[in-house]
Amino acid sequence: MSSSSSSGQVDRSAFSGPASARRAGGLFRRIGMLPVLVLLYLGFYLLALHFSDDGSTNFMTMDNTLNILRQTSINLVLASGMTFVILTAGIDLSVGSMLAVAAVLGMLTSMPGHAQAFALPVFILSGLAMGMLNGSMVSFLGINPFVVTLGTMTALRGAAYLFADGTTILNNDIPSFEWVGNGSLFAIPWLVWLAAAVAIASWFILKRTVLGLHIYAVGGNPQAARLTGIKVNLVLLFVYSINGLYSGLAGAMSASRLYGANGNWGTGYELDAIAAVVLGGTSLSGGIGSIWGTVIGALIIGVMNNGLTILGVSSFWQYVAKGIVIVLAVILDKWRQKHSAAN
């Protein structure tokens, strides 16, 4: 009989697998999907170096790194809002359509002869209003989030085309919010600063406020949350509302880049946002996840898009490669969660 058994204590290691597996699980619990991001970044650098004509590449440069961050910024803002929703075991398929409506309305407001000073608030408040519409139907009418946002995705996409009259709204003058998409602070684009601010604010809400605790509780077990006195309906209204607000901000970020917007703006953005959240380790069942994981997930997608473009891979194969990496990353993350739970 072992010494642990003779003293009446249970040897917990017998139930948690080999020590090496426990150490690996603890490591992955701390660093999440960061290794995937690092490996992708180094892998694309080596591939670009290998296939270059002169033995050099501009992939791992400050300019290209800032380009990756700039390209990732809009998806990160959308994915931050999607994290709130998925943490409550919900989904929002309409973020791309909300972005389009907000972009068109904001650009119309910025045109000469209109209240141009209110253009930026129009972007954000219109997104907030659409998010509140989704949240009201989910929380107070009890309609399934997938059904609600599938319907609003289609309806709002049509509304964006109607508001734009089927054309692209262009502002040939420099709009008042031009700095959002084309300005910089300390050589870092404002797009990156805004995305970072959204991520930090979202982290603070989820990790440092009572509301954040309630969001996790609702995602983990809404019935138990309700019995403990949490106002589940108001929590759901909040998460869809902030998701809409972030979509409106993303609309401003997108429109300010090209001084224009149309009804097709943001098509497919909801898929990249959901992918970033899932890659970051947030459970589609709700209650588990973090904003920092979402940041890593968004960067993974950004590095993939940038690296494949630099390598000259066609857009068709880019879809294939992105899908494969996402599936492999999710499998790795499930392995991480399994070994984390064992500890």
Q: State the pairing for strand pair 260-261/188-189.
A: unpaired
Structural contact between residues 78 and 246, judged by C-beta atoms closer than 8 angstroms:
yes
Residue 44 — pLDDT band, cuts 50, 70, 90?
very high
Mean pLDDT of 113-131: 93
Task: Give backbone dihedrals phi and psi of 169, rounded to 5 degrees, phi first.
Answer: -85, 115
In terms of Cα–Cα distance, which of 203, 188, 192 is closest to 80? Answer: 203
Measured CA to CA, the distance from residue 116 to residue 329 in angstroms comes to 44
Which among 54-68, 73-87, 280-294, 326-340 has the top mean pLDDT? Answer: 73-87
Say what the alpha-carbon torsion angle 73, 145, 240, 119 is, to the nearest 10 degrees.
Answer: 70
* Res. 174: pLDDT tops 90: no
* Res. 31: pLDDT tops 80: no
Mean pLDDT of 138-153: 97
CA–CA–CA angle 319, 322, 328 (5° rounding): 140
| 36's tokens | 């995937």
Q: What percent of the chain has pLDDT over 70?
A: 88
Name the residue type at position 257: R
- The architecture of the domain spanning 33-49+60-333 is Orthogonal Bundle (1.10)
Burial class (CB in 10 A: 0-12, 13-18, 19+), 249: buried
Q: Which of 19-23, 32-36, 301-305, 308-312 has the lowest mean pLDDT?
A: 19-23
First CA to last CA distance, the chain: 25
* Res. 325: pLDDT tops 80: no
Residue 340 — pLDDT band, cuts 50, 70, 90?
low
Mean pLDDT of 282-310: 93
Mean pLDDT of 75-104: 98
Q: What is the pLDDT of residue 55?
A: 65
